A and B are shown apart, each in its own frame.
Chain A
Amino acid sequence: MSPGEAGGGAADDILRTEGITKRFGSVVALRGIDMHLGRGEVLGLVGDNGAGKTTFVKILCGYQRPDAGNMYIDGERVELRSVSDARAKGIETVYQDLALVPQLPVYKNLFLKREIVSGGRLGFLSDRKMRELARRYLADIKVSIPSVDTPVDRLSGGQRQAIAVARATRSEVKILLLDEPLSAMGAKESALIIDLVKDLSKNRGVSILVIDHNYAHVFELCDRVNVIHQGKVSFDRRVADTSLEELTDYMVSEYRQQVMSGRAER
């Protein structure tokens, strides 16, 4: 099972990485990650704890810098110096904690740090404009909530996740990183987010990278799945061409191999 079975890197990939390497002291977290994300594609990134997916995501969102390797957005080589740098280049991240302010109403959360204001440096909030835009945008992406004036702490987990995704995609976004978007959610809630993610990729052309350790979630959400194992992409299949069983078998055999080689070394 070699990487690239699902077709390695077409010319119109929105994001591509080559040999991304990162070490922390003597620990090598990433041993050269080659990954590509197509335009409007939803790619799932799975792997055990410690496989390196968290480190990889931190590099993609500009939070950490790689020791070696290249990264291309729209075929152009980029270096991400910070989270806001990544944001400026069209990469948005929805963290697992969602980064919402529970006491603030939905529309203020949607516009947090990108408020519409008047009065220059005085920064008077244009509430009416923000409410209207929030209402329209949420209707556009079919997110239904009681009212844009509802404080976020009155929303359900799924609605909160939807608001966080909505905030990340409201402005110009090319690549969306989602960190375990379906964790701790009931079936009905999950359906809401799955619909939202599919709609964003199909109808708005947003390319989405889903990081999860729950394979079932990845199968529900994604077009393609990559497994990161010991700091490398070791499995790359279209979801349509594989099955949950195959992926699980693969992960178990990898794990067994790892345990065996560990014994051999001793």
Chain B
Amino acid sequence: MTQAALSGTGRDTATGRSYPGAGRGLGSFLRTALVERREAAIVIVAVALFVYFTVASSNFLTVADMQNLSQFIGPVAVIGAGEVFLLVCAEVDLSSGTVFVFMPFVVYYLNKSFGLPLLLSIVLAVVVGALVGALNGIITTRLRVPSFITTLGMLFLLDGIMLVLSNAAQLTMPTSGTLSSVFGGWGWSEIIWSVAIVALLYVVLNRTRFGMHAIAAGGNLVGAAEAGVPVNRVKVWCFMLCSAVSALIGIVDATRITVLDPGNPGTTEMFYAISAAVIGGTALTGGSGTVVGGFVGAVVLGVLFVGLTIVGISANAFILILGLAILGAMVANVQISKLSERRKAAT
């Protein structure tokens, strides 16, 4: 350890040298920005991709394709933001995608089989989603099953219930005029819901006591408990939050598509969402995470997916690039952490 790292005494609080980017060149400023704010790197990638596809194809910037893009981004961004809460407290939810595809079925049965009004059915389905999350959380925290296993079981359980209930036959999402337009029927409504939910989750994670406690539970579980943070309760709420928003955006997505397909277990959506969170700079080790980064990660995936389709590259290439992107993002993440360790030692 250097002399300065030990100092503590006698240094002016305001002029601490670890203050980001103070009075140095642009290169140093950029480096600081990349280390201090992990979202920065992924924003640059997103903008670069956007510019590339705009130049490469005159079709990219059309209204139809932007809408297409927004509809890809929506679910990935929302489920991803929910996953960020779990990654932050060092857990994961593999069943979020299955909640996403299954809750529209719950809306269908509540509305068609039980004759409940559509709005009430939607609200109840979101509540059911939250209860699934509560179950995940309770099994994980009280019965001490790792969340990877808990939610893996929940994934198959929900998928099975969906297949049994529907007899593996497709259904049509119930609709009702304006209400359905609001819940996904209108082309832009899905992205509006998504941005609103992501913004809300950003505020919850960064500006509230609950978000701070989630970070504390993931950063130092024992320490947070010693300080009096109800770590288990906080984690259960994170599971509920992730499931509830997955349910809500699932209902919006199904209303737009109108077809309920029990053949889709939702794993693709879940993996895209976790990919977006990871590419956006959220580590799986707990204690840190960025909702905004996850959103930009979803944008990157969406631009790649839609862009590659437009320039005529097959979806297979998308998967390949996704794989590289995840590996690249994780390597960068670890290296940046090391870099910031070194900065810490140097200040």
A contact set with B: CB distance below 8 Å: 83-84, 87, 95, 97-104, 108, 112-113, 115, 117, 122-125, 127, 135, 138-139, 143-148, 150, 153-154, 156, 158-159, 162, 167, 186, 188-189, 191-192
Contact = CB atoms under 8 A, between A and B. Distances in A.
Interface of B: 1, 5-11, 13-14, 16-19, 207-210, 212-213, 215-216, 219-220, 222-224, 226-229, 287-288, 344, 347
B16 A147 contact: yes
Nearest to A168: B227
Contact of A147 (B13, B207, B219, B220): B13
Contacts of A135: 13
Contacts of A87: 228
B208 A162 contact: no
B207 A186 contact: no
A192 B8 CA distance: 8
B13 A112 contact: no
A156 B16 contact: no
Contacts of A167: 227
A42 B10 CA distance: 25
A101 B287 contact: yes
Nearest to B224: A101
A165 to B, nearest CB: 13
B8 A101 contact: no
Given A154-B344, A158-B6, A146 B223 contact: no
Nearest to B228: A113
B288 A123 contact: no
A146 B16 contact: yes
B209 A123 contact: yes
Contacts of A191: 9
Given A112-B229, A144-B13, A146-B19, A125 B212 contact: yes
A159 B10 CA distance: 13
Contacts of A113: 213, 227-229
B223 A101 contact: yes
A100 B16 contact: no
Nearest to B229: A113
Given A101-B215, A101-B223, A135-B13, 5 more contacts: A103-B287, A104-B215, A112-B212, A154-B344, A192-B9
Nearest to A116: B209
A103 to B, nearest CB: 4
B90 to A, nearest CB: 11
B287 A99 contact: no
B18 A146 contact: yes
A148 B17 CA distance: 13
Contact of B207 (A102, A104, A124, A145): A124
B228 A98 contact: no
A63 B181 CA distance: 57
13 contacts: A97-B226, A98-B223, A101-B216, A101-B219, A101-B224, A115-B212, A117-B208, A122-B208, A124-B209, A144-B9, A145-B16, A146-B19, A156-B1
A144 B8 contact: yes
